[in-house]
Amino acid sequence: MPVLTTTEIMDLIPNRYPILYMDYVEEMVPDESIVAVKNVTINEQFFQGHFPGNPVMPGVLIIESLAQAASILILSSPQFKGKTAYMTGIDDAKFKKMVVPGDVLKLHVTFGKLRANMGSVIVEAKVDGKTATSAELMFVVAPDETNE
């Protein structure tokens, strides 16, 4: 049973089709960690050109999927509710396994450092329990626009 459905995810982050890269949130410990799931299918737009005859999910979209999962975790925190999170950097990105149609991509995110409205998250995308991609993502949360 999902902790958050796709509709509930869209209530938290602004991403929509064709750039919403997760189907549901499987686990979440507020202010600590999240596991979200992306079912990778041959119907994804990006498979038309990456790579014809040998479809592979682009690494940049795996990172984007992880950033979206991170945004859900960040924006579920009471101090950031209703705001927008932006990725500001990527450190130590490693791509260890190709992600192909039929894979279930599990997006693991854990809070790293946090200071005021910025911080980092440790991210890992796994397929069948094996690491496909890992990195540290830096983020900033935009100030509340209603108080300007």
Domains of the chain: 6-147 (3.10.129.10)
Catalytic residue among 50, 95, 136, 138: 50
Residues of the chain with pLDDT > 90, as a percent, come to: 83
Give the tens place of pLDDT for each residue, 30-39: 899 999 999 9
Give the tens place of pLDDT for each residue, 52-102: 899 999 999 999 999 999 999 999 998 898 899 999 999 999 999 999 999
Is residue 1 pLDDT above 80, yes or no?
no
The answer to whether residue 108 is catalytic is: no
Query: With the C-alpha atoms ordered 90, 93, 99, 103, is the resulting torsion angle positive or negative?
Result: negative
Report residue 147's pLDDT band, with 50, 70 and 90 as the boundaries: very low
Mean pLDDT of the residues in the chain: 93
Residues of the chain with pLDDT > 70, as a percent, come to: 97
Strand partners, 4: 25
